[in-house]
């Protein structure tokens, strides 16, 4: 590593962190190989050819690239049907289309994994009934809180479903920006069984953001009726420039397609404007890219454990998403970490991140992101609200060797700033 001036002791820590990580890397590679073969066989079975990579404009009628990619995604996720579109503006927009696609005035939805991710709060209208939220349309929301250890309260969920009729049960797979554990596929299966045992007609929907291809199966293969996610996270493979996907039971995907465009028209329209090739390439690369991101997460946990910090999950713990938190203990450490990480980005390495008042947050937030796609968190990136427990949430790394260099630069920055003494 002759291109960077790393402290010689930090180089020793790097070697030790690699040794600690290796057994876990082997397990990741086994999952990645399985998922890569699954995706490759979906390409082969759907006879993908150059014709699918073409461009449509206008209404986009008969875009075989678009329609066949829906099949590839459905087959890869073991779902009956899927919609994958560059025209979903974000993960939140995709989830919102799915929620409004299924829920009707008078319906109730029960979040069974506690309070949802920040941006979904407004979609449900949980804290205030903002215009255009589900609450504004007469859909009521309730939640069963997680237990103290951060796991779902299965007995509490069953009790609530016996108590009242719910059209939808809502699950969030990833930890988001909390320290609760992400939900394994096994846990999601247990939750689906619990819901259906009490209320078989309740639609189970999963926010699958950050979870795709982390395990060998997806929520739609273990009882979820519908799931959705973002293409600037796992399933875009770092190549899709924007977009989202929805996958699940045919009748629910069709309902979502009517919300996505209009009733009666659904998926028949939607020009792809030349994005088919990127979406195919990104989805194809996703199992490999997710493996690189998971290696980055495990390595950074191992390195920071060795440097004396608490990390969650630890490098030796099971994971169901690509997010890694590192508890850095105070504000100067968070700022120094993000500054170092940013300096190791392929894009905007010369930028110095600063804490700022972000809309919707009570505390200042500092972020490091030097990505090819703006805001893409499948690329190496970190976010940290300046508040207790002074943790940084790290995710992504489309290329492990580049990402680990970024992680080492974060540690070097903390050494230079006198925060880490080795
Ligand atoms: C990223 C994410 C979303 C959607 O966020 P966008 O920034 O709108 O793409 C929703 N839920 C979870 C758990 C997420 O991680």
Closest atom of ligand 1 to 120 CA is: 10
**Cα 21 to Cα 80: distance, rounded to the nearest angstrom:** 37
- Expressed as residue numbers, the domain containing 274 is 55-283
Q: Are 105 and 95 in contact (CB under 8 A)?
A: no
Structure tokens at 2: 């002759």
- Pocket of ligand 1 contains residue 342 by CB under 6 Å: no
Substitution site in 118, 126, 209, 359 for ligand 1 pocket (most atoms within 8 Å of beta carbon): 209
Say yes or no: 225 and 271 in one domain.
yes
Domain boundary among 240, 258, 283: 283
| C-beta neighbour count of 394 within 10 angstroms | 32
Global pTM value: 0.97
Cα angle 250, 254, 256; round to 5: 120
Distance (Å, rounded) from C-alpha 325 to C-alpha 286? 22
Domain assignment present for 109: yes
Do 261 and 317 have their domain in common? no
How far is the C-alpha of 252 from the C-alpha of 167, rounded, in Å? 13
172 lies in some domain: yes
- CATH at 364: 3.90.1150.60
Residue 356 to residue 361: CA distance in whole angstroms? 10
C-alpha 386 – ligand 1 centre gap (Å) = 20
Contact 98, 256 (CB under 8 A): yes
Specify whether 319 is located in the same domain as 374. yes
- 223 and 99 both lie in a single domain: yes
One domain for residues 25 and 64: no
Q: With beta carbons less than 8 A apart as the criterion, state whether 67 and 276 touch.
A: no
Q: Give domain status of residue 122, yes or no.
A: yes
Q: Which of 260, 283, 306 is the last residue before a domain boundary? A: 283
Distance from C-alpha of 175 to C-alpha of 333, rounded to nearest angstrom: 23
Q: Of 283, 308, 323, which residue sits at a domain end? A: 283
Are residues 348 and 243 part of one domain?
no
Is the same domain home to 302 and 265? no
Q: Do 251 and 309 fall into the same domain?
A: no
Q: How far apart are CA 26 and CA 20, in angstroms?
A: 12
| Closest residue CA from atom 3 of ligand 1 | 91
Residues 269 and 165 in one domain: yes
Cβ 182 vs Cβ 217: under 8 Å: no
Do 294 and 323 lie in one domain? The reply is: yes
Task: Indicate the Cα dihedral angle 91, 290, 238, 79, nearest 10°.
Answer: -50
The CATH number of residue 253's host domain is: 3.40.640.10
Listing DSSP states for 310-338 in one string gives EEES-TTS--SSS-EEEE--SHHHHHHHH
Q: Is the residue at 46 inside a domain?
A: no
| CA 210 to ligand 1 centroid distance, Å | 8
Ligand 1 centre from 394 Cα, in Å?
A: 14
Q: Tell whether 178 and 249 lie within a shared domain.
A: yes
Residue 412 lies in a domain: yes
Q: Is 421 domain-assigned?
A: no
Binding site membership of 272 for ligand 1 (Cβ less than 6 Å): no
Q: How many residues are present in the chain?
A: 422
How far is the first Cα of the chain from the last one, in angstroms, to the nearest whole number?
19
Q: How far apart, in whole angstroms, are the C-alpha atoms of residue 409 and residue 363?
A: 26
pLDDT tens for the chain, residues 1 to 422? 589 999 999 999 999 999 999 999 999 999 999 999 999 999 999 999 999 999 999 999 999 999 999 999 999 999 999 999 999 999 999 999 999 999 999 999 999 999 999 899 999 999 999 999 999 999 999 999 999 999 999 999 999 999 999 999 999 999 988 889 999 999 999 999 999 999 999 999 999 999 999 999 999 999 999 999 999 999 999 999 999 999 999 999 999 999 999 999 999 999 999 999 999 999 999 999 999 999 999 999 999 999 999 999 999 999 999 999 999 999 999 999 999 999 999 999 999 999 998 876 778 999 999 999 999 999 999 999 999 999 999 999 999 999 999 999 999 999 999 999 99
Count the domains in the chain: 2
Distance 91 CA to ligand 1 centre (A): 5
Residue located nearest, by CA, to atom 6 of ligand 1? 91
State whether the beta carbon of 119 lies less than 6 angstroms from ligand 1: yes
Q: Tell me the best of 171, 173, 174, 177 to mutate to test the pocket of ligand 1, counting ligand atoms within 8 Å of each CB and taking the most.
A: 174
136/13 Cα distance (integer angstroms): 54
Residue 195 lies in a domain: yes
* Distance (Å) from CA 41 to ligand 1 centroid: 29
Distance 10 CA to ligand 1 centre (A): 34
**256 and 290 part of one domain:** no
Q: Is residue 164 part of a domain?
A: yes
């Amino acid at each position: 590593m002759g291109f960077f001036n790393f402290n010689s002791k930090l180089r020793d820590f790097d070697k030790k962190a690699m040794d600690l990580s290796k057994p876990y890397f082997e397990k990741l590679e086994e999952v990645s190989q399985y998922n890569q073969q699954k995706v490759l066989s979906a390409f082969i079975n759907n006879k993908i050819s150059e014709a699918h990579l073409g461009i449509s404009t206008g209404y986009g009628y008969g875009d075989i690239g678009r329609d066949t990619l829906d099949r590839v995604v459905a087959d890869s996720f073991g779902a009956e049907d899927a919609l994958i579109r560059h025209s979903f503006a974000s993960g939140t927009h995709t989830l919102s289309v799915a929620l409004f696609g299924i829920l009707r005035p008078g319906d109730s939805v029960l979040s069974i994994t506690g309070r949802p991710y920040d941006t979904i709060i407004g979609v449900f209208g949980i804290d205030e009934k903002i215009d255009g939220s589900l609450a504004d349309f007469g859909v009521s929301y309730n939640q069963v809180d997680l237990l103290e250890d951060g796991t779902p309260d299965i007995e509490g969920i069953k009790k609530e479903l016996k108590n009242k009729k719910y059209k939808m049960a809502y699950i969030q797979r990833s930890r988001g920006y909390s320290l609760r554990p992400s939900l394994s596929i096994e846990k999601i299966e247990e939750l689906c069984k619990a819901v259906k045992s009490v209320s078989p007609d309740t639609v189970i929907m999963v926010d699958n953001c950050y979870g795709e291809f982390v395990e060998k199966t997806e929520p739609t293969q273990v009882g979820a009726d519908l799931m959705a996610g973002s293409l600037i996270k796992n399933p875009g493979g770092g190549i899709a420039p924007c977009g989202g996907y929805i996958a699940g039971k045919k009748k629910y995907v069709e309902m979502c397609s009517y919300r996505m465009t209009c009733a009666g028209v659904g998926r028949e329209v939607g020009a792809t404007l030349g994005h088919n090739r990127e979406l195919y390439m990104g989805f194809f690369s996703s199992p490999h890219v997710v493996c690189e991101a998971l290696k980055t997460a495990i390595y950074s946990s191992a390195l920071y454990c060795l440097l004396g910090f608490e990390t969650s999950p630890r490098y030796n713990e099971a994971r169901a998403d690509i997010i890694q938190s590192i508890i850095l203990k105070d504000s100067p450490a968070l700022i120094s970490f993000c500054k170092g990480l940013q300096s190791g980005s392929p894009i905007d390495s010369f930028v110095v991140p600063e804490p700022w008042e972000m809309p919707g947050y009570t505390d200042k937030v500092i972020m490091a992101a030097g990505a090819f796609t703006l805001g893409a968190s499948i690329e190496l990136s970190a976010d940290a609200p300046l508040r207790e427990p002074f943790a940084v949430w790290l995710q992504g790394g489309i290329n492990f060797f580049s990402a680990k260099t970024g992680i080492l630069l974060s540690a070097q920055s903390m050494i230079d700033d006198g925060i880490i003494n080795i």
